[in-house]
Every structure is written in C-alpha cells, then in structure tokens.
Amino acid sequence: MIRIRLSTILGEKRWPQKKLAERAGVRSATVNLYYNECVKQVSLDVLNKLCKALDCEAGDLLEYVPDEKDKQ
C-alpha cells in the first residue's frame, strides 16, 4: 500500500493544516483528506502544490509499505 506521510511532515514542521492549505493554494478540505490518508486517487496537481509549499520531493510525501499478505 502507498501511505501519505503528510501528517508526519506537518508535525515535524509544526504547521497546521490551514497554513499548508494557504501556502499551497488548495482547499483545507483537500489537505485534510491527504493528512488523514482518505484519498482514493492522488492528484498530481495537488501533489505538486504540496511539494512546492513544503519544499520537498514527492517521495518525501509518499511511502510504499508492503501489505501484510505480501510479507508471507
């Protein structure tokens, strides 16, 4: 599965979601969906805006974690 590390990154920066939404130019509700890993599809446009606002790479926001069934 792909995990979105936005909550971790915002925690490290001590940024509230609202600050990221304002800097990235995306809706607060969108940031909240990514923060809580509730998105079904990742928008490249949103990902680009988040990376630009956070000054990071897409790989910093996304992490591959093998499913439990794949570990066996």
Query: Which domain does 10 fall in, by range?
Result: 2-71
Can you give the pTM of this predicted structure? 0.89
Point out which residues pair with 62 in neighbouring strands.
4
Q: Is 67 exposed, middle or buried (0-12, 13-18, 19+ CB in 10 A)?
A: exposed
Give CA–CA dist 59/20, Å, rounded. 18
pLDDT tens string 5-64: 999 999 999 999 999 999 999 999 999 999 999 999 999 999 999 999 999 999 999 999
> Residue 25: which CATH number?
1.10.260.40
Residue 68's pLDDT is 81
* Total domain count, the chain: 1
